[in-house]
Amino acid sequence: MRYFVVFLLALLSVSTYAQNTPVQDKISGIIINEATLQPVANASIININRVKATVTDNRGNFTIEAAVNDTLHISLVGYQGIKVRVSADWIKFKNLTKIQLTERAYTLEEVIISKYNLTGYLQVDSKLAPIKENYRYSISGLPQGYEGGGNGPSSFKKIVSSVFNPADLLHNIFGKKPTEMRRLKEMKRDDTVRNALAEKYDRETLAALLGVSKDEIADILERCNYSEEFIKTSNDLQIMDAISGCYEEYKATNRN
């Protein structure tokens, strides 16, 4: 009788776990242009909950792993990114759901002519055009490097002051979003996610994956002692790797 009770309790536990665990399946869809209703190729689809990614083919079709209530982030350069919630019907009936993307309206910025009088000859122009280099300093006794943006006295002064930067913002971001930050490892392992981020500079997809705003991404990197030029010019993959490195340093510091 005792063994029967143990068996019954184990069976109920398995049943309860199965009920609480979302059923993961594959769903399919097609991405189309809202204005022309034509298929959109090479759009990135990332399941934020599962950190799985794929891209649309030439006909706009895609298939991706998902469970009910997962959120898909869909984006492509030149289009407004959107989030789509996975419904139970989408999973159950295997519908080829059509999703519309809206093209962005861009305003051309003012063109500024450079003050450098270039000649058209590479050997001459390479000496006329300035080269900006970012220097990442290493200070003995500290585990991380500090990027000053240059090698002048003012840059080093910035580095020294950054050592004493308060870490409140990093604690508020990293400490209160453990699930989102744990996704960093999954994001780094998924080649499709990495390839999608390598082509982006708008921080939109990265912000959706980490559950933070674009401004918070810039603040994180600033507190992690990255230069303004790096923050503005790096692609989303480089930004993700920088945040990941900063997060690992943050965890090591907290353990110590």
Q: What is the pLDDT of residues 193-205, one digit of tens each?
A: 898 899 889 999 8
CA neighbor of 174 nearest in space, from 230, 235, 238, 217:
217
Q: What is the pLDDT of residue 98?
A: 93
The CATH number linked to 82 is 2.60.40.1120
- H-helix or E-strand spanning residue 65: strand 61-67
One domain for residues 209 and 128: yes
Residue 110 lies in a domain: no
Q: What is the pLDDT of residues 47-72, one digit of tens each?
A: 999 999 999 999 999 999 999 999 99
Whether 199 is covered by a domain: the verdict is yes
- For 196, the domain range is 122-255
- 115 within domain boundaries: no
* Residue 106 placed within a domain: no
Q: Are residues 47 and 148 in the same domain?
A: no
Mean pLDDT score, 13-38 = 74
Domain end position, chosen among 48, 71, 101: 101
How many structural domains compose the chain?
2
User: In this predicted model, what pLDDT tens digit does every residue of 150-175 receive, in sequence order?
Assistant: 555 455 444 444 444 445 567 777 87
78 domain residue, yes or no: yes
Say if residue 87 is in the same domain as residue 9.
yes
| Closest by CA position to 215, among listed 204, 200, 225, 230 | 204
Residues 151 and 244 occupy one common structural domain? yes
**What does the pLDDT read at residue 37?**
95
Residue 254 CA to residue 256 CA, distance in Å, equals 5
Residue 125's nearest CA partner among 113, 135, 116, 137 is 116
pTM above 0.75, yes or no: no
Q: Count how many Cα atoms sit within 13 Å of the Cα of residue 197 in the half-sphere of its side chain.
A: 27
Last residue of a domain, one of 71, 101, 131: 101
Residues 90 and 198 in one domain: no
CA distance 241 to 244: 5
Q: Is residue 37, in this structure, part of any structural domain at all? A: yes
Q: Is 249 a member of any domain? A: yes
Kindly state whether residues 250 and 170 are assigned to the same domain.
yes
Judge if 164 and 240 occupy the same domain: yes
Of 101, 136, 170, the residue that ends a domain is 101
Same domain? For 130 and 97 the reply is no
Asked whether residue 46 is assigned to any structural domain, the reply reads: yes
Pair 191, 249 in one domain: yes
Do 128 and 84 lie in one domain? The reply is no
Looking at the structure, tell me whether residues 35 and 142 fall in a common domain: no
- The answer to whether residue 134 scores a pLDDT higher than 60 is no
Rounded Cα distance, 68 and 81, in Å: 21
Q: Tokens 């981020």 correspond to what residue?
A: 197
Specify the DSSP class assigned to residue 109.
Answer: P
On the question of pLDDT at 247 being above 70, the answer is yes
Q: Are residues 155 and 49 in the same domain?
A: no
Average pLDDT over residues 167-184: 74
